[in-house]
Amino acid sequence: MKIEQRVWNEQQGWSLQDGSDIKNKVQLVIVFAAAQILKEKVFLKELKDMYPQAHLFGCSTAGEISGTSVFDDSLVATAIRFEKTRVMGAQIALGDPPDSFEAGKRLAQTLDREDLRHVFVLSDGLSVNGSDLVKGLVGHLPAGVTITGGLAGNGDRFEETYVFWDDLPSRNTLAIAGLYGKHLKVGYGSMGGWDPFGPERLITKSTGNLLYELDGKSALDIYKKYLGEHAGGLPAAGLLFPLSIRTRTDETGIVRTILGVNEKDKSMTFAGDIPEGSYARFMKANFERLIDGASEAALRSRDGLAGRAPDLAILISCVGRKLVLKQRTEEEVEAVSEALGASPVFTGFYSYGEISPFVTGAPCALHNQTMTITTFAEV
């Protein structure tokens, strides 16, 4: 696997970060960029001119990662020449009204099944129910095919997000890349680092990813009480206090963050399911644990590589972590780099949700407030 990476920003234009002189042999270019840059479209045309044989695949973000740097208002393009791996992909519309399970099913059905090793999925970040999307994918892909990916972002604005595969970036869109062949090794890890606080509350009214009541009281009113003076900044302010959701049969929870609020019916939209009858508990940031969580995710992501050093690492971290870490954001990326060493090219983005198993062999799930890492090597 050979890789080169380019970054564009308004101050410097295009710059080459890693280079292998592989322009005419690249099969895939992964693009993570600010929404306003993708809307201008000219940059994708320039990339297509640079890599005429390649598929262009990417999404809008809440921050872009290149090496150990985190950018805003940039475009990071990672061009990959696989030596022994075949690539195919597609994009689809989410639908109106959105049916995330059906969208996952349709995405899975766009791919050839024979010799499929791994799929990487990018999704609209606002209208999708990420839990249902994952269920649709898992239920219609061949057994043993691993899944990672993330939900597109748009800063902390929670406005229109864009996704594309060989087409113009579009809203309410999902895209998938299928990677084929026995020579590809894929690893993954996903960790958080948030501390629970306050009492565990029963979810007394919810539908899918919409939450209405905790302990028979308005969940939105409870959230506003915890946020205090920050309540006017919802939904973004809700990222400071995600929920840990635990079913009656689980000892550990899965983290969920807010995508939107509806003042009329007092509902809160989350990135994934909030099952009625489960338990919810507020969480708060622990700076050192967030950075340690990123390092642990990196170490776990080596498990699927059969002892090989990774060639490529895709980092997807939640926008909530970026809002909390602020000027320390790059520390979590640096922690990943220290854990994985100098061999991989690093790319990635800050997201509205992360898709991955926690560790090798675990079921795939939607996560929030994690650092989720996918590593790749060819053998």
Greatest alpha-carbon span in the chain:
61
pLDDT digits (tens, 9 = 90+) for 339-377: 999 899 999 999 999 999 987 788 899 999 999 999 999
Alpha-carbon distance of 354 to 367, in angstroms, equals 5
Q: pLDDT of 121-162, one tens digit each?
A: 999 999 999 999 999 999 999 999 999 999 999 999 888 999
**pLDDT at residue 19 tops 70:** no
d(C-alpha 37, C-alpha 60), whole Å = 9
Mean pLDDT of all residues in 177-191: 96
Classify each residue of 42-70 as buried b or exposed e, where b means 16 or more C-beta atoms within 10 Å of its C-beta. Answer: ebbeebeebbeebbbbbbbbbbbbbbeeb
233 pLDDT above the threshold of 90? no
pLDDT given for residue 236 in this prediction: 85
Q: Are strands 116-123 and 210-214 parallel, antiparallel or unpaired?
A: unpaired
Selected residue with higher pLDDT from 241 and 65: 65
The answer to whether 191 and 359 are in contact (CB under 8 A) is no
**Does the pLDDT of residue 285 top 90, yes or no?**
no
Are 91 and 178 in contact by the 8 Å Cβ rule? The answer is no
**pLDDT per position as a tens digit, 22-70:** 777 899 999 999 999 999 889 999 999 999 999 999 999 999 999 999 9
Q: How many C-beta neighbours within 10 Å does residue 187 have?
A: 26
What is the bridge-based pairing of β-strands 28-33 and 55-60?
A: parallel
pLDDT at 114: 96
Mean pLDDT (whole number) for 183-205:
94
Banded model confidence at residue 20, pLDDT cuts 50, 70, 90: low
Residue 83: CB atoms within 10 Å: 12
Structural domains in the chain, CATH included, are 2-191+288-378 (no CATH), 194-284 (2.40.30)
pTM: 0.93
**259's tokens:** 């995508």
